[in-house]
Amino acid sequence: MMGQKKICILVLNYKYLKMKKLLFPCLVLSLIFLSCNQVPNGELSGVLNDNTTEVEMTKELMKKYSEGNFREIADMISDDSGEYYFNNVKVDKEGWLSAAEGHHDLFENIQNDTEGINLTSAKYNNGTTWSMAWFQWTGKGKYTGDDVKIIVHHGFRFEDEKIVSAYHFFDPSLLDRETKAAEAMSKTSKRVIGLAELKVNKGYSSSDVEEFLIRFSKFVRETEPGTYDFGYFISSNGKRVNLVEKYYTSSDFVHHLNNFEKSDYSKEFMKLFTLNKVIIAGDASDELKAKAKAYGAELRPQIGGWIN
């Protein structure tokens, strides 16, 4: 009987071991499968899916944009949100629609898919749903004749099948170039340039001029967001200086003059320099023209070229 029991136990153990060998790989494969399908629990973790309503809506939006019919998808965009960005420039819904239309005023044959579009959607654990696209934007400039290629990424956040946030990221330099060429052709640029020739007063050296301009330039940079170019250039003998100042609008130029006149830098400036000639070039407003009189400035409207 004991021998029979031993034989029975050995048979059972053999069957158990054989089953264990079969079950273990299955168990490992099951665990791997489960772990691969588990979604991490971080707020910015989630699930990617390129076959969603949001993806299809984004495809339709991009198609209408390239066709020049962007307003046809206006209903996709929320009226209540203003979280629409082109790089760091924030616009409202109308601003977005107008900007898209404006691209077709500057370029022809606009396409989003010359190199294919990488487009998907993400449903994050924080409850938000986004579509995200990466692609190469192409077009031909109507004013420069240049063939333009720009790498673009945009992300749209959706709520109830409406876009409530939009972020576009791209290098705007080629768009800006075409805009300036268009403004030059139509002479509609709002930018204004201040030009002056200054005499360095007796008793002051090039080092004195440089030290003053380091402090003055810092002051302008920190207090005048509308001043986008601010350069001073000295002659080889250190006795004459030319200044070139550029402003986005006449209002920005007026702000600069008011800012300058109220500061202590105006007194230092007049001790250091004598104004020989001042020119205000571009689209000067009546307010700027009135300010110009105090400096004996000559006004010169734009006749051609473009203003960077």
Domain identity same for 100 and 171 = yes
Task: Tell me what pLDDT residue 39 has.
Answer: 62
Residue 199 has pLDDT above 60, yes or no: yes
- Shared domain for 215 and 137, answered yes or no, is no
**Contact (CB, 8 A) for 279 and 300:** yes
Instruction: Give the tens place of pLDDT for each residue, 148-168.
Output: 999 999 999 999 999 999 999
pTM of structure: 0.67
What average pLDDT does the chain have?
A: 88
Q: Are residues 175 and 192 in the same domain?
A: no
Question: What's the maximum distance between 2 C-alpha atoms anywhere in the chain?
Answer: 127
Interval 78-88: pLDDT, tens: 998 889 999 99
Range of the domain at 204: 187-300
Which neighbouring-strand residues pair with 137? 150
Q: Looking at the domain assignment, is residue 149 inside a domain?
A: yes
Report yes or no: 223 and 280 within 8 Å, Cβ to Cβ.
no
pLDDT above 90: percentage of residues in the chain: 78
Q: Is residue 26 part of a domain?
A: no
Q: What average pLDDT does range 221-247 have in this prediction?
A: 96
CB 82 within 8 A of CB 118: no
Residue 240 has pLDDT above 80, yes or no: yes
307 pLDDT more than 90:
no
Q: Bigger pLDDT: 75 or 22?
A: 75
Residue 234, Cβ density class (10 Å: 0-12 exposed, 13-18 middle, ≥19 buried): middle
Measured between alpha carbons, how far is 13 from 136 in angstroms, rounded to an integer? 65
Number of structural domains the chain divides into: 2
Separation CA 294–CA 280 (nearest Å): 12
Specify the CATH number for the domain of residue 276. Answer: 3.30.70.100
CATH code assigned at 102 = 3.10.450.50
